[in-house]
Amino acid sequence: MDAGKLLASISDASAETEFYTPMPHGYVLGKTKFVIVFGTVMSGLGKGIFSSCLARCLKDKGLSVAPIKLEGYLNVDAGTLNPYRHGEVFVLDDGMETDMDLGTYERMLDQDLTRAHFTTSGQIFTRVLTKERKGSYLGRDVQMIPHVTGEVKCKLRELAVATRADVIFVEIGGTVGDLENAYYIEAMRELAFEEGPNSCAFVSLTYILEPRTLGEQKSKAAQLGIRRLMAAGIQPHIIACRAHNPVTHKVREKMAVYCNVALDRVFSMHDCESVYLIPEMIRGAGLDTTVAGLLKIQDRLNSDSESSSWQAWAGYMNRLRTGIAPVNIGITGKYTALRDSYASIIHALEHAGAALGSRVNISWVDTTEISEENVGEKLRDVHGIIVPGGFGVRGAEGKITAINHVRQNGMPYLGLCYGFQLAVVEYARNVAGLEGANTTEIDPDCLHPVIDMLPDQKKIEGLGGNMRLGGYDVQVKPGTMAYEMFGESEMIRLRFRHRYEVDPRYIEKLERAGMIFSGRSPKYPIMQILELPRDVHPYFVGTQAHPEFTSRPLSPDPLFVGLVRAALDRAYPDGLPAGVAQAIREMEAAKRPLASQNTPMRNRQPATAG
């Protein structure tokens, strides 16, 4: 059957065909290529990391790429997921709440993604049932195959039309064998069948065990997991082997023999110092060239683009490797036992450290254990602290105690979202003379509700409905530290995820007491960035936003760079190390005071670039 007849048959919703698949307007069968990544053995191995790094390598070759994450859970988005269960909730510019892998893709590809790049079973089933109620299936009994799988394929093709990407990178959440992933796997098999030869490259990311008691690597679990994928009709073209140590030649041979994959396509994705070194590993193994060959898109490659892109990336990796001036940053929160809860903050600190020629060491401080008696001891070994975003009462007073300590002792401070709000509470209590000040999230009946839900937000009903989500413009006050750090831009764009604000009734009182609100909403009395004057404190900054979501390796967020810069001054009071001083001079020479390529997002490459 030729492509035209196949396209006509699979788009037909009648009861006379089994080829039903809805096709978005403008989609050309076989034009877009797909790289599809599955996981075996266990979840959390880094499918998103591998997929984004491989996508980065192909983007460097001049190809347009677009990622999508397919999640098996029935939630419509990730907004209500506990960080202990699924890691950090990442927010896209359009307000979509996703899992942390979307952050990995944005950072690695330097692209702002949209809700079209994230799908859950909840979204898929909602689409199917909505169509069923509208009578869109013309009397058919609605089934997993072809209707649900057809909807999955339609989502991928809609993304292809919207982005005009050469290659769509599809990451299947969880592992092969998970009940909720069975229909995703079947949809990928059908996709390859419908799109035709050289349309899809299948990647299986697996795990090589290395029990301490045996002292050698074992591949049987990995083999069996991939055999299960093969039983579902998927023959992987590439196997990425996660392991603590480099995967031995013997183990790679076993994987090749038992899984029908050429030895040079069995890749050792062993632990390394930073995920940003993995693209170099992929290039070294030739996997990017292999994928281009499998998809027959060598004619679309651009060697000049690859050279210039790789030169910029190599410069970042060199700074990452050579940054030797250590500085200690404390992250004070209540999810410190699970590092994935603060994944974007960790990456933002790494970006800032590399930009400054420094190596940022993170100290985790559980605020549920902080008191006025022990706060000095708890923060003794850090040169600056971050109070990150969060919700709820637990640990809040510990955070306020920590904020009071660093403000009084001149320790660099960056408050993010909840950290911004609690900085206002602490300042109101201890400087502005508003005894009993609090946030109504903690105490609805407090004497001075300096942080409260604004009246317009209270009218919005539904969990998450009254949250301020996604990207918003922020007007920056000239002459402030924020204005300087953001490259003297009066309008920037940041991302938000919160429902409580500074109560406008207290803004004037706080400003009279010395607090500067250097970033505000252009339209509403909503405070976005606060700071204290430099003659009062070397670096005391808070933002209602989550700037960690928009920090990138080649364009670190200015607020994080400012924190690390101030922490370095505290760590090296007798003079900055030569490498740090040189990095700062280079930034100033490039007219990027404290690194500020991270200006309004509209100036960055959008996800829909063709």
- Verify that 395 and 431 share a domain, yes or no: yes
- Amino acid in position 573: P
- The Cα 408–Cα 465 span in angstroms is 38
Task: Supply the pLDDT for residue 310.
Answer: 87
Residue where a domain terminates, one of 265, 285, 309: 309
Shared-domain flag, residues 355 and 280: no
- pLDDT for residue 597 is more than 50: no
Q: Is residue 7 part of a domain?
A: no
Residue 606: which residues within 8 A CB-CB, separation 6 or more? 111, 112
Cα(333)–Cα(396) distance, rounded to whole angstroms?
Answer: 9
HSE value, Cβ hemisphere, 13 Å, CA-based, for 572: 16
Give CA–CA dist 204/227, Å, rounded.
11
Do residues 399 and 268 both lie within one domain?
Answer: no
Count of domains forming the chain: 2
Evaluate whether residue 17 is within a structural domain: no
The domain boundary, picked from 259, 277, 309, lies at: 309
Q: Which pLDDT does position 366 carry in this prediction?
A: 87
Give the catalytic positions in this structure.
417, 546, 548
State which of 309, 336, 356 marks the end of a domain.
309
Say how far apart CA 223 and CA 219 lie, in whole Å.
6
Q: Which domain CATH number covers 339?
A: 3.40.50.880
**Poorest-pLDDT segment among 177-181, 194-198, 544-548:** 177-181
> Alpha-carbon distance 126 to 412, whole Å?
47
Mind listing the pLDDT tens digit for each residue in 359-410?
Answer: 999 999 988 888 899 999 999 999 999 999 877 777 789 999 999 999 999 9
108 and 190, same structural domain? Answer: yes
Residue 610 lies inside a defined structural domain of this protein: no
Burial readout 31-62 (b: 16 or more C-beta within 10 A, e: otherwise)? ebbbbbbbbbbeeebbbbbbbbbbbbbbbbbe
232 in a structural domain: yes
292 and 354 belong to one structural domain? no
Residues 276 and 338 reside in one and the same domain: no
Please list, in sequence order, all residues whose beta carbon lies within 8 angstroms of the beta carbon of residue 202, skipping any fewer than 6 positions away.
36, 38, 188, 192, 234, 235, 236, 237, 238
Give the CATH number, domain containing residue 85.
3.40.50.300
Asked if the structure places residue 3 within a domain, the reply is no
One domain, residues 258 and 388: no
Say whether both 118 and 249 belong to one domain. yes
pLDDT computed for residue 390 by the predictor:
79
Indicate if 226 and 329 belong to the same structural domain.
Answer: no
Flag whether 208 is in a domain. yes
Does residue 461 share a domain with residue 592?
A: yes
My answer on whether 348 and 484 are in the same domain is: yes
Query: Is residue 601 predicted with pLDDT exceeding 50?
Result: no
Q: Which domain range does residue 498 map to?
A: 323-603
Question: Is 214 inside any structural domain?
Answer: yes
Q: What is the pLDDT of residues 50-87, one digit of tens each?
A: 999 999 999 999 999 999 999 999 999 988 887 767 77
What 3 state SS string does 191-248 have?
Answer: HHHHHCCCCEEEEEEEECECCCCCCCCECHHHHHHHHHHHHCCCCCCEEEEEECCCCC
CA separation for the pair 592, 483 (Å, rounded)? 12
8 A C-beta contact, residue 530 and residue 417: no
The DSSP annotation for 413-472 comes to EEEETHHHHHHHHHHHHHTS--TTEEETTT-TT-SEEEEE--HHHHT--STTTTSEEEEE
- Report, as an integer, the average pLDDT of 592-607: 42
pLDDT of residue 212: 87
Whether residue 10 is contained in a domain is answered as: no
